[in-house]
A and B are shown apart, each in its own frame.
Chain A
């Protein structure tokens, strides 16, 4: 499987969850685990570009697919991805535990609806739990991310942060 563009050998143990494989075998600990039953959304990653729950996939199932984790959105040292930048500008995170999952879901949401309505924003983030923010700042972040995503890429990441 390819993770963030890098090929990795197949995991050995078939019962290894993709979330655990990413975190503990590949050291990509940005993908978090909050429930292991599909409800919290912390473990959301992109599978061939679409957000999915990595806690509800066996790692062996990702063989032959492209997985993108939060670490793959912006290279080290490079400016933040527009969605990450928007979360920063709008105080869309507190403890940051839910954040990678939200960011990956929002990347998926904006792929589907580049100009989301408030209802689409609520629906788009309604598969992710956050216990800290009360969601208001996350909603603001999504709208801001939609704006930032339209800015041509050289300007990306140069928010007011």
Chain B
């Protein structure tokens, strides 16, 4: 379980990073490494190049903008968890990020990395989706805004092009009432199924290839979750029903 060989690049600016991503064949961005490095260690990922963005300065800001909160690519999940603006503007995000892994993982893992990684069982993509947030992607071709609804394309697949860097995620302020509830086997594990409620809106995670918006009155509509060792499709549907009830009873 040692990483395969790769070429390592540590750009100092976003522009440098984008230039590298534009010119290199088969490059992967390395942010917090909490998902990518395990994949390297298992040799499930074998990129030719690693573009480590951790040396880029001033890319770790968390700040208010447009009535919501913007979180830059190098803001660690722990910083989001402890952030006063996040707690004030988007307490749903504060609650959700606490469900991600363990503090020691969050000390390193980035929120933007979670969105770029797009694990279907991850909490954070569902949060940005339910709130109708967006991300900003930068490449040497320019900058574009991707709505949360467009970002998640499939299991660990996003609308980000291989040469694009996700530089910032934006979360609108969370309305009352809100809730994020999940069922996981152990504390800190990825969820078997989870729900995020923002006032009347509902998003589900862990039950489809991407997080999905659902009708709170009929959350199972159109859902066809896959089964795995810990949950069959039927159990996942059952959990969605139970968790949605809980979220809307709160």
Contact call A56/B6, Cβ cutoff below 8 A: no
* Shortest distance from the beta carbon of B14 to any chain A beta carbon, whole Å: 18
Contact call B8/A60, Cβ cutoff below 8 A: yes
State whether the Cβ of B56 lies closer than 8 Å to any Cβ in chain A: no
Contact call A57/B108, Cβ cutoff below 8 A: yes
* Shortest distance from the beta carbon of A128 to any chain B beta carbon, whole Å: 8
By size class, the interface of chain A is 20 to 34
* Shortest distance from the beta carbon of B113 to any chain A beta carbon, whole Å: 12
Specify the main secondary structure of chain A where it touches its partner: mixed
Contact call A126/B188, Cβ cutoff below 8 A: yes
Chain B 45-73 per-residue mask, 1 if CB under 8 angstroms from chain A, else 0: 00000101010000000000000000000
* Shortest distance from the beta carbon of A98 to any chain B beta carbon, whole Å: 13
Residues of A within 8 A of B38 (CB): 36-38, 56
Identify the interface centre among B2, B37, B42, B187: most chain A CB within 10 Å of its CB: B37
* Shortest distance from the beta carbon of B158 to any chain A beta carbon, whole Å: 22
**Chain B residue nearest to A48 in the complex (CB):** B107
State whether the Cβ of A108 lies closer than 8 Å to any Cβ in chain B: yes
Contact call B108/A56, Cβ cutoff below 8 A: yes
State whether the Cβ of B177 lies closer than 8 Å to any Cβ in chain A: no
Residues of B within 8 A of A38 (CB): 34, 37-38, 105
Specify the main secondary structure of chain B where it touches its partner: loop
State whether the Cβ of B18 lies closer than 8 Å to any Cβ in chain A: no
* Shortest distance from the beta carbon of B37 to any chain A beta carbon, whole Å: 4
Instruction: With A56-B34, A57-B37, A61-B54 as known contacts, state yes or no: A127 contacts B105, CB within 8 Å.
Output: yes
**Chain B residue nearest to A60 in the complex (CB):** B8
Q: How far is the CA of A38 from the CA of B6 in the complex (A)?
A: 21
Instruction: With A15-B3, A51-B104, A127-B104 as known contacts, state yes or no: A56 contacts B33, CB within 8 Å.
Output: yes
Contact call A37/B1, Cβ cutoff below 8 A: yes
Residues of B within 8 A of A57 (CB): 33, 37, 108
* Shortest distance from the beta carbon of A89 to any chain B beta carbon, whole Å: 24
State whether the Cβ of A22 lies closer than 8 Å to any Cβ in chain B: no
5 closest residue pairs by CB, A with B: A127-B102, A14-B8, A37-B38, A56-B37, A15-B3
30 contacts between A and B (CB under 8 A): A14-B6, A15-B8, A17-B2, A20-B2, A36-B2, A37-B38, A37-B41, A38-B34, A38-B37, A38-B38, A44-B104, A47-B107, A50-B78, A51-B103, A51-B107, A52-B107, A53-B104, A53-B108, A55-B37, A55-B41, A56-B34, A56-B37, A56-B38, A57-B33, A58-B50, A60-B52, A108-B104, A123-B102, A124-B103, A127-B101
Given A37-B1, A38-B105, A58-B3, 6 other A-B residues pairs in contact with their CB atoms under 8 A:
A15-B8, A15-B40, A37-B41, A44-B104, A52-B108, A105-B104
